[in-house]
Chains A and B, each alone.
Chain A
């Protein structure tokens, strides 16, 4: 079964850091571009970051550029999001999502989503 399981969320103070992880199983992780998408409480979906299969290309939303870093370890079938200088507006459920087509492009839909991990930034 194709599965993505996020972890690492929690309560953190403004200015703090957190590292999210996403464990992939059931597919050849190293062949797919991966994404992070977040959803603030009661709000819509916001794309955060994408990383191609071999980490060659990385794309970030302006709202997190310079603060968040996406990375992956294909040997461990894992995706990460290092979040620094956290702000209240970063409070959200963070989803890990797989690109819908194998390859090196980012320009595809997202066909598999994890259940998400909750990040709360509050003093």
Chain B
């Protein structure tokens, strides 16, 4: 199984400042035949289901604000919120869909400082 880890567990950022979340997979999720990283990011606000933010490691889902960006390849990935807004308070999960069992990171809680 591919184990996903995230850091930090939580972070508090001032409004308008940058938030950076890291995700690491225990093996590469880069599929060589199509050069795609099978990595997604989800946002989950309290009492709500997860919402897809980013897929293929760096493709923003339709309707997601452009302050959210994803980067990385292979085993190391980053989700960046360039200018934190109050509505971004949530838990963020990375997920690999390279192989079953599909696995999620433990989540990173983002709060306002």
Contact = CB atoms under 8 A, between A and B. Distances in A.
Interface of A: 35, 37, 44-47, 50, 59, 61-62, 95, 100, 106-111, 113-116
B97 A107 contact: yes
Contacts of A111: 52, 55, 61
B40 A109 contact: yes
Given A44-B105, A47-B101, A109 B55 contact: yes
20 contacts: A44-B104, A44-B106, A45-B42, A46-B104, A47-B100, A47-B103, A50-B100, A59-B101, A62-B101, A107-B97, A108-B55, A109-B40, A109-B95, A110-B40, A110-B50, A110-B52, A111-B61, A113-B50, A113-B52, A115-B49
Interface in B54-113: 55-56, 61, 93, 95, 97-107
Contact of A107 (B61, B98, B101, B107): B98
B contact residues, range: 20 to 34
Interface of B (DSSP majority class): loop
A43 B111 CA distance: 18
Among A44, A50, A61, A100: residue with most chain B CB under 10 A: A44
